[in-house]
Amino acid sequence: MRVLGIETSCDETAASVVALEAGQPPRILSSTVFSQIEEHAAFGGVVPEIAARAHVEALDGIVEAALEDSGVALEDIDAIAATAGPGLVGGLIVGLMTAKAIAAAAGKPLIAINHLEGHALTARLTDGLEFPYLLLLVSGGHTQIVLVKGVGDYQRWATTIDDALGEAFDKTAKMLALPYPGGPNVEKAAQSGDATRFIFPRPMKGSAQPDFSFSGLKTSVRQAATAVAPLSDQDVADICASFQAAVADTLSDRVKRVLARFRAEFPDTAVPALVVAGGVAANKQIRAMLEKLCAKNGFAFIAPPMALCTDNAAMIAWAGIERLRADLVEPDAFDFVPRSRWPLDSVSAPVVGSGRRGAKA
C-alpha cells in the first residue's frame, strides 16, 4: 500500500509518500516540508491570506519533489490523502482541491483526513504502538489530551478553554519583544532566568474539571512585564523562566489526572503509553517533566522525532493507510468540503469558553 499525503492546514506546505508492505513496519519513502515561518515572521504570527497564497505557490513543486524522492510513480500510488480540516480554510482549500485534482486525473481514491487524526496515529507509524493509548497534543493551535482507542475512535479527555499552549508561548514572546515563533525563544531566554522571581498562577491546577486554561497566565505575564518595564535581558529571562515553570507545573497536574483515569478505565493494558505531539513537545523542560511523570506512573513516554511531532504530510499519508486498511474511507470524498473546525471526537460536548482562538482553532 502506497499513499501520497498532502498537508496545508496552517503554515507548512507538505507532501509525503508512505508505504506499508505485509509483515513489515511502515516506511516513509519521502517527506517534504516547506515552512512559511519567514513569510509570517514580520507579522508576529500566521497571516491566513499570506499562508493560502504561499500554499498555492509551493504545493505543486512540493508534491512533485515528494513523488520524486520516494521513487514511486504516480500510477503506482494507491490513494491520495489530504488534510481536510481543521485549520485555516484558505490553505485547506488549496490542499484538498489539489488532492482532488490529482486523484481525479490519476483515477485514484481520495481520502479526506482530519489533521488531528494525523497527529493521533503518528505513534503507530513510528513506534508501532497498539491501541488504546493517550495523546497529548500541544501545538500553536491545539491543546488536547485524547484517548486513542482505534482508527476513527477517539475521545477528547481534556482541552483548553481559551488559548492553545503554543499560542501562550507565542504571546509571551511578543510581550517581551522576543522574535517569532515565540516558543523556542522563550525556552532559550528561560535558560538563564530565575524561575522563582515571579510567582505566576497555575491555571486549573487541582481542578476537578480536566481541562487547560492559559489566558490568565498570559495576563499575569503582561502585568509583570509592565510592572518592571523597561525590561533588561535578565528581567526577560526571569519572566520566561517563571512562565515556563508555571506551564510545566499546571501541565503536570492536568496530565497526572488523565494518567490515573486511563489506569482506572483500562486496567488490563500491559504498558500504558502517553504520546506527545505538536511544536511545544520540543520544549526540553516540558519533555523532561512528562518523561518523569510517565516513569513515576508506569507509563511509556513516546515522543516521535520532532519532524513528525510538528506538522508534516507523512502523518496524513499514514492516516490514509490506516483508514484504507480499516476500510474506513468515505465513498464520497470528492464532495468533501474543507472544515475549519472539525473536532476529532464528535461525542464530547464543546467546553464552555473554548473559542475560535489560534491559527488552527
Does 311 contact Zn ion by CB under 5 A?
yes
Q: Please give the size of the binding site for ligand KG4, defined by CB under 6 A.
A: 20
The partner in contact with residue 5, picked from Zn ion, ligand KG4, none with C-beta cut-offs of 5 to 8 angstroms by kind, is none
CB of residue 67 to Zn ion, shortest distance in Å: 23
| Dihedral sign (CA 134, 139, 144, 146) | negative
Taking CB under 6 A as the criterion, the residue among 95, 166, 193, 338 binding ligand KG4 is 166
Taking CB under 6 A as the criterion, the residue among 13, 31, 139, 250 binding ligand KG4 is 139
Which region among 88-96, 182-190, 262-270, 312-320 touches ligand KG4 (by CB under 6 A)? 182-190
Taking CB under 6 A as the criterion, the residue among 90, 183, 203, 338 binding ligand KG4 is 183
CB 349 within 8 A of CB 343: no
**Alpha carbons 146 and 33: distance in angstroms, whole number:** 26
Does 169 contact ligand KG4 by CB under 6 A?
yes
- Which three cell numbers mark 276? 506527545
Does 7 contact Zn ion by CB under 5 A?
no
Does 304 contact ligand KG4 by CB under 6 A?
no
Q: Cite the annotated binding site for substrate by residue number.
A: 137-141, 170, 183, 187, 283
**Exposure pattern of 118-127 as b/e (b: 16+ CB <10 Å)?**
bbbbbbbbbb
Output the 3-class SS for 31-92: EEEEECHHHHHCCCCCCHHHHHHHHHHHHHHHHHHHHHHHCCCHHHCCEEEEEEECCCHHHH
Paired sense of beta strands 110-114 and 153-159, if any: unpaired
Residue nearest to ligand KG4 (CB): 183
Give 135: exposed, middle or buried? Use CB within 10 Å, 0-12, 13-18, 19+.
Answer: buried
Does 85 contact ligand KG4 by CB under 6 A?
no
CB 301 within 8 A of CB 291: yes
Residue nearest to Zn ion (CB): 311
CB of residue 118 to Zn ion, shortest distance in Å: 7
Paired sense of beta strands 12-19 and 2-7, if any: antiparallel
CB of residue 69 to Zn ion, shortest distance in Å: 22
The partner in contact with residue 238, picked from ligand KG4, Zn ion, none with C-beta cut-offs of 5 to 8 angstroms by kind, is none
Paired sense of beta strands 273-277 and 300-302, if any: parallel
Does 10 contact ligand KG4 by CB under 6 A?
yes
Does 11 contact Zn ion by CB under 5 A?
no
Which region among 63-71, 165-173, 204-212, 231-239 touches ligand KG4 (by CB under 6 A)? 165-173
Q: Cite the annotated binding site for Fe cation by residue number.
A: 115, 119, 311
Which region among 135-143, 248-256, 322-330, 351-359 touches Zn ion (by CB under 5 A)? 135-143
| Dihedral sign (CA 320, 321, 324, 328) | negative
User: Starting at the edge strand that comes first in sequence, how are the strands of the sheet with 143-150 ordered?
Assistant: 153-159, 143-150, 133-138, 273-277, 300-302
**In what helix (H) or strand (E) does residue 125 lie, and over which residues does it extend?**
helix 115-127
Q: Which is nearer to ligand KG4, 132 or 166 (CB)?
A: 166
Residue 299: which of 136, 152, 155 has the closest Cα?
A: 136
CB 88 within 8 A of CB 13: no
Site string for Zn ion, 136-155 (x = CB under 5 A): ---x----------------
Does 181 contact ligand KG4 by CB under 6 A?
yes
CB 181 within 8 A of CB 225: no
Site string for ligand KG4, 264-303 (x = CB under 6 A): --------------xxx-xx--------------------
Return residues touching Zn ion (CB under 5 A): 139, 311
Return residues touching ligand KG4 (CB under 6 A): 10, 139-141, 166, 169-170, 181-184, 187, 278-280, 282-283, 310-311, 360
